[in-house]
């Protein structure tokens, strides 16, 4: 790893942000004490009660049907309105809004401090000879047409690459196309498309010990983000063909199928199986969630190393663990070469547990976060829905996830943005230590 420049300046900025966060936090507490002193403790009790009641309403909205769902909507909306009316009648609503605003800005400053102290770096690799016969597979529809919008075909051909455009309507076998390219003498394989397509071609590259080029032409480009590539201009990824370096990363496998990012089991995997999900994501999820959360027969068990996760509603397995468990940075993996899978299990059955998860995050009893070299997922069914890098599949149980450590040779541009991982989960004790210069 090579740190990016400006780490000293970032540290100073982080300390300043931490101090601002603490001052704003203290100010919000003082405003709350002023409100309590003016209108009595009942105002504070009603505010906390409103939060709890609203959380119960949101849970009923998501996990129940019929009258309970209607009641959930009424509680979720009515509780905050009732609290506001109470504050207005007591003449303290302005102070209450001020306290909430101060606390909100304090949280923003604290999260910015956490991010600023994170390790900003690029994965440095080894210089390799320029590929003589690179073959790139491009999906013209991926990312809303990024291949055409950024002129990727023309740019790649100018650099000497052979380009194959996928015919998405005909259902081209991407893996077979990649193997044909290898048989014809390709000395590099690359993909401009989504992460699912990336993974299929990446396996062919790994099986044949060839370098692999990632072009960030997908919709989300999680793999490209963790490699530190430019996601705003996928054409910059092609610079690796003339001025690149090779880094070794892990490649995931789920029951023999490759993945570069994640494998999802349970609620999310069930939802993405539905054909209507693509056109109406929120409506489909809201319609299915009560059945999926309440059906104990759909629960999953997982064995991750020597740990057991029982009766889980959802399980996420990632190619290397995610960064520090900060909800604002949950999509980032700090490294891709540790040889370990990240495992997150979710089990929430009551409104109280849902509120606990929302408030305490990874410290909640409903959430399990761990790492393992292998994961086995089982269920009371012969097959289960699985989402592999966002693509809906059905696999026979037990489903086994493993890693091929450093199996994939990824060619990346020498000059690229890099990435940054947060240094710590957000907690006020750590923010205080940072503000006074004692945080590690």
Residues 296 and 367 in one domain: yes
Instruction: Tell me, yes or no, whether 207 lies in a domain.
Output: yes
Instruction: Tell me, yes or no, whether 255 lies in a domain.
Output: no
Residues 383 and 427 in one domain: no
- b vs e for 200-238, b when ≥16 Cβ sit within 10 Å of the residue's Cβ? bbbbbbbeeebbbbbbbbbeebbbbbbbbbbbeebbbbb
Model confidence pLDDT, tens digit, residues 230-269: 989 999 999 999 999 999 999 999 999 999 999 989 876 6
Phi, psi of 307 (to 5 degrees): -105, 145
pLDDT value for 277:
47
User: Rounded CA gap, 242 and 235, in Å?
Assistant: 13
**In angstroms, what CA-CA distances link 253 with 94, 207, 426?**
55, 13, 32
Instruction: Tell me, yes or no, whether 393 lies in a domain.
Output: yes
**In angstroms, what CA-CA distances link 310 with 12, 181, 314, 352, 367?**
45, 45, 11, 20, 12
Full-model pTM: 0.76
pLDDT value for 252:
96
pLDDT value for 84:
83
Residues 185 and 240 in one domain: yes
Query: 271 is written with which tokens?
Result: 């939802």
SS (H, E, C) 22-77: HHHHHHHHHHHHHHHHHHCHHHHHHHHHHHHHHHHHHHHHHHCCHHHHHHHHHHHH
Query: 138 is written with which tokens?
Result: 């491009």
Residues 210 and 271 in one domain: no
3-class DSSP state of 86: helix
Instruction: Tell me, yes or no, whether 125 lies in a domain.
Output: no
User: Rounded CA gap, 408 and 204, in Å?
Assistant: 10
Residues 32 and 105 in one domain: yes
User: What is the DSSP track for 243-265?
Assistant: SEEEEEEEEEEETTEEESSEEEE
Instruction: Tell me, yes or no, whether 98 lies in a domain.
Output: yes
Pairs from 276-280 (Cβ < 8 Å, separation ≥ 24): none
Residues 112 and 160 in one domain: no
Residues 183 and 104 in one domain: no
SS (H, E, C) 362-421: HHCCCEEEEEECEEEEECCCCEEEEEECCEEEEEECCEEEEEEEEEEEEEEECCCCCEEE
Which residues of the chain have a pLDDT value below 70?
Answer: 1-10, 118-122, 268-297, 324-331, 351-362, 420-426, 439-440
Using DSSP bridges, classify how beta strands 162-165 and 314-319 pair: parallel, antiparallel or unpaired.
Answer: unpaired
Instruction: Tell me, yes or no, whether 256 lies in a domain.
Output: no
In which residue are the tokens 């320029």 written?
Answer: 130
Domain region containing 97: 2-118+423-435
78, 82, 83, 86 alpha-carbon torsion, rounded to 10°? 180
Domain total of the chain: 3
Residues 63 and 154 in one domain: no
Cis preceding linkage at 381, omega within 30: no
Phi, psi of 413 (to 5 degrees): -65, 140
Category of 164 on φ-ψ map: left (φ > 0), alpha (ψ -120 to 50) or beta: beta
pLDDT value for 89:
84
Query: 24 is written with which tokens?
Result: 């704003």
Burial of 337 (0-12, 13-18, 19+ CB in 10 A): middle
3-class DSSP state of 129: coil
34, 38, 40, 46 alpha-carbon torsion, rounded to 10°? -70
**In angstroms, what CA-CA distances link 58 with 47, 337, 362?**
17, 39, 20
CATH code at 229?
3.40.50.10330
CATH code at 330?
2.60.200.40
pLDDT value for 144:
87
Residues 382 and 311 in one domain: yes
Residues 268 and 215 in one domain: no
Burial of 343 (0-12, 13-18, 19+ CB in 10 A): buried
* Start-end of H helices in 277-367: 281-294, 351-360
Residues 218 and 342 in one domain: no
Residues 267 and 390 in one domain: yes
């Amino acid at each position: 790893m090579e740190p990016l420049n400006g780490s000293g300046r970032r540290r100073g900025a982080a300390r300043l942000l931490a101090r601002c966060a603490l001052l704003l936090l203290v100010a919000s507490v003082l405003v709350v004490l002023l409100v309590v002193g003016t209108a009595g403790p009942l105002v504070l009790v009603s505010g906390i009660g409103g939060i709890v009641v609203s959380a119960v309403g949101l849970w009923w909205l998501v996990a129940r049907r019929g009258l309970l769902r209607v009641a959930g909507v009424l509680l979720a909306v009515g509780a905050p309105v009732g609290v506001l009316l109470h504050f207005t009648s007591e003449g303290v609503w302005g102070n209450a809004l001020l306290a909430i605003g101060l606390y909100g800005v304090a949280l923003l400053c604290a999260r910015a401090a956490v991010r600023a102290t994170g390790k900003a770096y690029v994965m440095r690799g080894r210089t390799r000879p320029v590929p003589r016969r690179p073959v790139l597979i491009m999906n013209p529809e991926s990312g809303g047409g990024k291949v055409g919008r950024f002129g990727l075909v023309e740019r790649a051909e100018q650099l000497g690459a052979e380009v194959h455009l996928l015919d998405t309507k005909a259902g081209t076998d991407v893996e077979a196309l990649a193997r044909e390219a290898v048989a014809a003498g390709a000395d590099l394989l690359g993909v401009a498309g989504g992460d699912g397509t990336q993974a299929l071609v990446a396996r062919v590259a790994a099986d044949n010990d060839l370098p692999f080029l990632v072009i960030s032409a997908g919709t989300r480009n999680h793999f490209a983000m963790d490699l530190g590539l430019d996601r705003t201009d996928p054409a910059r990824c092609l610079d690796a063909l003339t001025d690149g370096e090779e880094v070794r990363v892990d490649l995931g496998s789920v029951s023999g199928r490759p993945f570069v990012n994640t494998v999802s089991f349970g609620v999310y995997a069930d939802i993405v199986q539905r054909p209507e999900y693509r056109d109406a994501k929120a409506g489909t999820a809201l319609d299915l969630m009560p059945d999926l959360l309440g059906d104990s027969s759909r629960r999953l068990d997982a064995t991750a190393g020597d740990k057991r996760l029982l009766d889980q509603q959802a399980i996420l397995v990632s190619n290397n663990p995610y960064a520090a468990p900060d909800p604002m940075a949950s999509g980032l993996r700090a490294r891709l070469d540790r040889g370990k899978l990240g495992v997150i299990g979710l089990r929430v059955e009551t409104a109280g547990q849902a509120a606990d998860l929302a408030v305490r995050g990874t410290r909640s009893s409903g959430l399990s976060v761990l790492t393992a070299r292998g994961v086995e997922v089982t269920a009371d069914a012969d097959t289960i829905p699985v989402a592999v890098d966002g693509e809906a599949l059905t696999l026979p149980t037990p489903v086994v996830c493993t890693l091929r450590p450093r199996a994939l040779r990824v060619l990346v541009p020498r000059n690229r943005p890099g990435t940054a991982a947060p240094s710590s989960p957000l907690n006020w004790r750590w923010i205080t230590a940072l503000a006074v210069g004692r945080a590690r």
